[in-house]
Structure 1
Amino acid sequence: MLLNNPTREQIKEVLDTAKTIAVVGLSPNPNRTSYMVSEAMQRAGYRIIPVNPMADEVLGEKSYASLKDIPEPVDIVNVFRRSEFLESLAEEFLEIDSPVFWTQLNVVDDDVFKRLTELGYTVIMDRCIKVEHAILK
C-alpha cells in the first residue's frame, strides 16, 4: 500500500496548531537524530516530552517510560522507533487519544496507518517533522 499522507497544507495546519510533541525513542545523546530533531522543534517553540524508559531527562524535560505515563494532553506523538514497534505503539497511542501519530523517515507500517486513519486520526508516516516544519514555516 502506498501511504496517503496528509497534504502539505494539512501538515502545516497540524504544525501550526500543535504545542506539545511527545517523542517516542528520544535519545539523550546529542549526536542522535532524535535528539537533534527534537532540539530543533523545541527551539521552534514546541514543548517536547521525551518518551524513553532508559532516560530520566532529555532536553531539560522529564522523560516518561511510555506514552501512558504522560500526565497531560499531547498534540503530536512523534516516533523514532523501528517499524516493527509501530503496532504496539499504536495501541498505546489509542489509550492517550492524541490527535496525531507521526513517524520519522523510513518508519512505516501500512496496517497501523490504515487502522489509525480509519479511526479518524491524522497519521503522517515516513516524514521528518523537522524537515516539514522548515519547509512549511
Structure 2
Amino acid sequence: MFTNPAPDQIRSLLQEVKTIAVVGLSPRPERPSYRVSRSMQSFGYRIVPVRPAVSEVLGEKAYPRLSDMPFVPDLVDVFRASHEVAPIVDECIALGVKRIWLQDGVIDEDAAARAQAAGITVVMDRCVWRDYMDFIA
C-alpha cells in the first residue's frame, strides 16, 4: 500500500526543487492547474508547462511531452486524470526524473509503486500549493 513521504520529507522536497514541469497546465486562469502553478511561480519556482497544443503558459514555453523538454525538471507535477498517470510515470522513469507529485484526486497506486521502485520520490493525492503553504510559507 502506498504512503506519502513524511511531512519533513515533503518540506525538504519543496526546499530542494527549483524547476517544476506541470503536466496538464491549463492556459485558462480559472483552472486549478493555472492557479496553483501561478502561485508556485510567485514563490520563486520556475514553472514549465507540459501540454500539447499550447505554445506558452505563464510566460514559459510549453512542451507537448516531458520528453520534448531540453532538460530534466526537478519535479513533475501532474494535473491529469488518474487513468492517464501510468504513461506519465513511465516517461518520468525513462527520463530519470527524481520526484513526481500527483495533485489532489490524482491517484494510481500501481504507477506510484513502479515509480518508487525506480527510485523516484512520489507524493500522491496532495496539493503542492497547500503543502507549500503548510510547510514553507
Alignment correspondent of 1:57: 56
Gaps of 5+ in 1: none
Alignment correspondent of 2:107: 108
TM-score where L is the length of structure 1: 0.97
Please state how far the C-alpha of 1:96 moved relative to its aligned partner. Answer: 1.7
Q: Which amino acid aligns with 2:21?
A: A
After superposing on structure 2, the runs of 4+ consecutive aligned residues of structure 1 that deviate more than 2 Å are none
Please state how far the C-alpha of 1:91 moved relative to its aligned partner. Answer: 1.1
Q: Which amino acid aligns with 1:123?
A: V
Task: List per-residue Cα deviations over 1:77-133 (Å, max 9, x = no partner).
Answer: 000000000111111111221110110001000101111112211000000000000
Alignment correspondent of 1:40: 39
TM-score where L is the length of structure 2: 0.97
Alignment correspondent of 1:30: 29
What is the alpha-carbon distance in structure 2 between the residues aligned to residue 98 and residue 42 of structure 1? 20
Give the total of aligned pairs. 136
Alignment correspondent of 1:123: 122
Gaps of 5+ in 2: none
Alignment correspondent of 1:8: 7
